[in-house]
Structure 1
Amino acid sequence: MLRSMDEAIRYIEEKKIERKKKLEDLNIYVCVGTGCAAKGSIKVYEELRRIFKENNVKANLQKLEEKEERVRKTGCCGRCSSGPWVIVMPYGYFYSEVKPEDVKEIYEETILKGRPVERLLFTDPATGERVERLEDAKFYKVQSFYIMEDIGKCECDSIDDYMGRGGYLSFIKVLKEGNPDNVIKTIKDSGLRGRGGAGFPTGVKWEITKNSRGDKKFVVCNGDEGDPGAFMNRTLLERDPHAVLEGMLIAAYTIGAQKGYAYIRAEYPVAVEMFRKAIEDAKRLGLIGENILGTGFSFDIEIKEGAGAFVCGEETALLASIEGKRGVPRPRPPYPAQAGLWGYPTLINNVETYANVPKIIRDGAENYRKRGVPNSPGTKMFSVTGPVKLTGIIEVEFGTTLRQIVYEICGGLTGDNEFKAVQIGGPSGACLSEAFLDLPLDYDSLKSAGAMVGSGGIVVLSKKACMVEVARFFLDFTKRESCGKCIPCREGLMQAYRILERFTQGKGTYEDLENLEFLAGLIKTASACGLGQTAPNPILSTLRLFRDEYIAHIEGICPSGMCTAFKRYVINPELCKGCGLCARFCPQNAISGERGKPYVIDQEKCAKCGVCVEKCKFKAIEIR
């Protein structure tokens, strides 16, 4: 238990020295984030610990205490599809796709002899060459790590390691100065904008909450990341939970809050576990609780696990869920900063927003603004998915272009895929065509293009993708996630979805096209909350930039060939042997004929399931 600020500072300085020694000595970091854990990293971690214990390693390196653990847990390195990751210090050897059976070789070659295991080194898809160290791969070279600093070399479950990186010094600095107004000025001067999607100025929100009158005040962390393909918040909570926690503590002191809630969806069990441990460790050291570090400031925090409702990403719906009510939005004003949890002023920020705060206090507003662009300073984490060579989590400065992300960081598209578009901003984001590849990624530039940063999801689409189907896919998600409270969202999204379905089924008309555009605009204007107001974005952006594909569907063609309704399964009579195997397995009884003679497919009955293609041994069935 740390009882004073001076005692805490001395403790942190000791941890800095200890951490420096760790990185200079023999230590192995194993990624235990969700992506790597799903591929067996926990077994790799346990096998490494077992082999160390059994062999009582004596390497010719600076010695740690015998009781010191040498196998350590680290968080996501960004390249989830290539995990499990193992990084061996002090060499920095960067191993990918490690299996438990590889551990013995790592022990014998790297631990005992200091040599890399060549076959396990990460192969950089950008060059096709193996790299020894993480920082040598192009994927990492062209990023700007700030929130994700010390990637691959920090312990995700250790408060001592976080303090060894200077953690909690920003909180202590704020407590020592005892000037909440100065903190708000620093955050405002930094230009930090909310990373949850809307990009509202963080310092302004803090100031409003601080100045709101109330016997109680609350701080809430919004970790309800519900966008398909987005996992930035989960990654950050798993790899650096104390950074988020310290940001919440600084916010609580600044606005005068006594209680905090971290709202994390239950679908993120590793994130919940890491953040819960972070809270417990901070309480053990006296950084959370009564009379923190002898300053008279008291603050407690607890985790609220969300049930996975996308609408609970909206502030007021999230607050209703914490209160134990159904997660539905309420009209604003009053805003949560004025009347939030149980009617008291409540500050709500996103996971990534809070993680920026300690670094801004540490570096100062002026240094923070050196990154990014004037109206969107700093960096942003994005998750990139789709047919690109490298997918996963990236961190770049605001102002980085889509072209740099797709072709420099992610290595371009795979195989014979050609770039067509990106869908950015989650299911409520917009689709941008090739013409926008050089658009700077920042709040204002994206808004001018009819898109938004959102939570940071980027889905790369190739020319094999049907943009009408893409719009239908995302609208299917948002209409199912609608809380149903307001008619424009509840009924409008369903009607828009049915129109899109008609297009993908080959039944769309020019009247449907006109109605779809009108309906999307109406939903955007009349919906009560952000879910409904942004849900039509995939429709509006594809109508604006890919209208020709909608027209092609009306004319009976899906240019990408993705929509099955436009496909025709035809039996080539010259190749058909008349065996009848296709007819026997057809679930619709759409194939008829006589044995020994070519069979025929009834196009009216055909469900285009493709079973006949799979069963035909002579490749006689063609898709036209």
Structure 2
Amino acid sequence: MATTLTPILTKFWDHPQSWTLETYEANEGYQALTKALAMDQSALVSMAKDSGLRGRGGAGFPTGMKWSFLPPPDGGPRYLVVNADESEPGTCKDIPLMMAAPHFLIEGVAITSYAIGCNHAFIYLRGEVVHVYRRLLRAVEEAYAAGHLGKNIQGSGFDLDVTVHAGAGAYICGEETALLDSLEGRRGQPRSKPPFPAVAGLYARPTVVNNVESIASIPPILLHGADWFAAMGTESSKGFGIFSLSGHVANPGQFEAPLGITLRELLDMAGGMRGGKKLKFWTPGGSSTPLFTEEHLDIPLDFDSVAKAGSMLGTRALQIFDETTCVVRAVDRWTDFYKHESCGKCTPCREGTWWLKQIMGRLEHGQGDEEDLEKLLDICDNILGRSFCALGDGATSPVTSSIQYFREEFLEHLRQGGCPFDRDASALFAKETASV
């Protein structure tokens, strides 16, 4: 096997009490914070840049560069907001990280806050995961009691308060400006940009918004060095990341490995396809990234290689589907999700996702005609790049890529007058629509 796992953030997840401060401190916990508090703040920003760490929330924007976008201090507050609103279908890395080892995030928050001059940081968590919310609250309490948060942290003179905020459960709040509106108590909808959060973010003050895994990666980078981190991964995609395998694999789960590993290698680690079935299609970064097929098994899973192959690495949510899966049905269900989660602010997404769902639903049950495929592509073209945020763009990805790779399966639905994988459901759909 060309690539091996690199257990860093996942190193002690199997410890009986991995989430406690005691376990974390026994595994180099808060040593990086002590080191950071003795450094110049600008040196920490430079360290983040030199490491090559790119945002682990999906976009892959250089983390250190984002920090450096903050304007010079003006005497007013500035904020760090951690985006823990993990809502992308198939994405399941941040929640288990916060559940198993929350102090990685807490220490990362403290170091990042010191680096950017922030004295009040927020962790915006998806409200449905109450068990994770409670665990984070307990971790914050432990950090306060140990002197890692609060007034005069570790005798350094640096003060930091951390607020854990439970959101109300909207996919749109994963978009950073919608998250900020929600955090301020308003309806979560994307803001016009510019101004960007670095200039006018939370409460119209300079704000850094980073993903959970991005911030959690800061302590090991600081402790072991930017060169140590940059030595892993590929030239343009440095370091390690958590790859989430779900679906039709023998042993689904989290696999922490250097960026650039391939799905073929990860499948070997996961025991192969479930039941010996053949791989049909998969997502490299959740349902909002264009589909890949078996021909892409050896694509290096790094930002640039995946983009060159026609998709996006995203959140490394590898959803695996075998030959028994109807791709039309899978895309129909994802489209239903995006229609439901559209905030309704912009016309292309609000109207476009509704029409995508109507046409996909008909096609899945063998209704309509071949022209509907061109209509789908036309609607996607009118959404892509024209919606207020990336939700609209993401909604088009599974539709366009499924037609690209599986057009014949769409046509087979039309020829047979129903889904070849489930004729009973198609017959029921036809009966119900005829009676309306």
**Normalised TM-score (structure 2):** 0.94
- Residue 7 of structure 1 is matched in structure 2 by none
The one of 290, 295, 299 equivalent to 1:435 is 295
Matched, 1:152 2:5: no
- Residue 293 of structure 1 is matched in structure 2 by 154
Matched, 1:162 2:24: yes
Question: How many angstroms does 1:307 deviate by?
Answer: 1.4
CA distance in 2, matches of 1:289, 1:198: 32
What whole-Å deviation, never above 9, does each CA across 1:298-322 have from its counterpart, x for those lacking one? 1101111011100000000111111
Q: Does the residue aligned with 1:152 lie in a helix, a strand or coil?
A: coil
Question: How many angstroms does 1:464 deviate by?
Answer: 1.1
- Residue 111 of structure 2 is matched in structure 1 by 250
Q: Does the residue aligned with 1:490 lie in a helix, a strand or coil?
A: helix
- Residue 80 of structure 2 is matched in structure 1 by 219
Question: How many angstroms does 1:288 deviate by?
Answer: 1.1
- Residue 122 of structure 2 is matched in structure 1 by 261
Q: 1:403 to 1:557 in 2, by over 3 A?
A: farther
Does the CA-based 8 Å contact 1:210-1:255 persist in structure 2? Answer: no
Does the CA-based 8 Å contact 2:412-2:420 persist in structure 1? Answer: no
Question: How many angstroms does 1:455 deviate by?
Answer: 2.1
Question: How many angstroms does 1:389 deviate by?
Answer: 0.7
CA distance in 2, matches of 1:562, 1:217: 55
- Residue 473 of structure 1 is matched in structure 2 by 333
Map 1:344-423 onto structure 2 (within 5 A): 344-406=205-267, 408-423=268-283
Does the CA-based 8 Å contact 1:388-1:410 persist in structure 2? Answer: yes
Matched, 1:181 2:36: no
CA distance in 2, matches of 1:173, 1:294: 13
The one of 274, 278, 290 equivalent to 2:139 is 278
The one of 433, 442, 458 equivalent to 2:318 is 458
The one of 35, 41, 63 equivalent to 1:202 is 63
AA of the residue aligned to 1:532: G
Higher RCO (CA 8 Å, separation ≥ 6 residues): 2
- Residue 34 of structure 1 is matched in structure 2 by none
What whole-Å deviation, never above 9, does each CA across 1:28-66 have from its counterpart, x for those lacking one? xxxxxxxxxxxxxxxxxxxxxxxxxxxxxxxxxxxxxxx
Instruction: Give the number of the structure whose alpha-carbon radius of gyration is greater.
Output: 1
Q: Does the residue aligned with 1:552 lie in a helix, a strand or coil?
A: helix
The one of 364, 367, 391 equivalent to 1:504 is 364
- Residue 388 of structure 2 is matched in structure 1 by 528
CA distance in 2, matches of 1:386, 1:461: 6
Q: 1:469 to 1:166 in 2, by over 3 A?
A: same
AA of the residue aligned to 2:100: R
What whole-Å deviation, never above 9, does each CA across 1:147-204 have from its counterpart, x for those lacking one? 2113413733421221221111111111112x11111111111100111110000000
CA distance in 2, matches of 1:210, 1:302: 24
What whole-Å deviation, never above 9, does each CA across 1:74-126 have from its counterpart, x for those lacking one? xxxxxxxxxxxxxxxxxxxxxxxxxxxxxxxxxxxxxxxxxxxxxxxxxxxxx
Matched positions, count: 432
- Residue 50 of structure 1 is matched in structure 2 by none
Q: 1:253 to 1:604 in 2, by over 3 A?
A: closer
CA distance in 2, matches of 1:553, 1:605: 17
Does the CA-based 8 Å contact 2:52-2:238 persist in structure 1? Answer: yes
- Residue 172 of structure 2 is matched in structure 1 by 311
Matched, 1:143 2:5: yes
CA distance in 1, matches of 2:379, 2:249: 34
What whole-Å deviation, never above 9, does each CA across 1:476-520 have from its counterpart, x for those lacking one? 111101100000000001001111111112112122111110111
What whole-Å deviation, never above 9, does each CA across 1:259-313 have from its counterpart, x for those lacking one? 0111111221221112111111111122211222222211101111011100000
More displaced 10-residue stretch of structure 1: 382-391 or 187-196: 382-391
Structure 2: runs of 5 or more not aligned: none
- Residue 37 of structure 1 is matched in structure 2 by none
Q: Does the residue aligned with 1:377 lie in a helix, a strand or coil?
A: coil
CA distance in 2, matches of 1:488, 1:264: 28
Q: 1:459 to 1:352 in 2, by over 3 A?
A: same
AA of the residue aligned to 2:22: D
CA distance in 1, matches of 2:113, 2:13: 28
Question: How many angstroms does 1:351 deviate by?
Answer: 0.8
Q: Does the residue aligned with 2:274 lie in a helix, a strand or coil?
A: coil
Q: 1:159 to 1:498 in 2, by over 3 A?
A: same
Does the CA-based 8 Å contact 2:367-2:417 persist in structure 1? Answer: no
CA distance in 1, matches of 2:73, 2:306: 32
CA distance in 1, matches of 2:106, 2:128: 20
CA distance in 2, matches of 1:605, 1:346: 54
Does the CA-based 8 Å contact 1:503-1:554 persist in structure 2? Answer: yes
CA distance in 2, matches of 1:420, 1:560: 16
Question: How many angstroms does 1:565 deviate by?
Answer: 5.6
Matched, 1:488 2:348: yes
AA of the residue aligned to 1:308: G
Q: Does the residue aligned with 1:534 lie in a helix, a strand or coil?
A: helix
AA of the residue aligned to 1:424: P
**Normalised TM-score (structure 1):** 0.66
Q: 1:557 to 1:411 in 2, by over 3 A?
A: farther
CA distance in 2, matches of 1:566, 1:268: 35
Question: How many angstroms does 1:528 deviate by?
Answer: 0.5
Question: How many angstroms does 1:212 deviate by?
Answer: 6.6
Q: Does the residue aligned with 2:122 lie in a helix, a strand or coil?
A: strand
CA distance in 2, matches of 1:489, 1:149: 41
CA distance in 1, matches of 2:7, 2:424: 43
Identical-pair percentage: 37
CA distance in 2, matches of 1:214, 1:491: 45
Does the CA-based 8 Å contact 1:220-1:263 persist in structure 2? Answer: yes
Q: Does the residue aligned with 1:195 lie in a helix, a strand or coil?
A: coil
Does the CA-based 8 Å contact 1:464-1:562 persist in structure 2? Answer: no
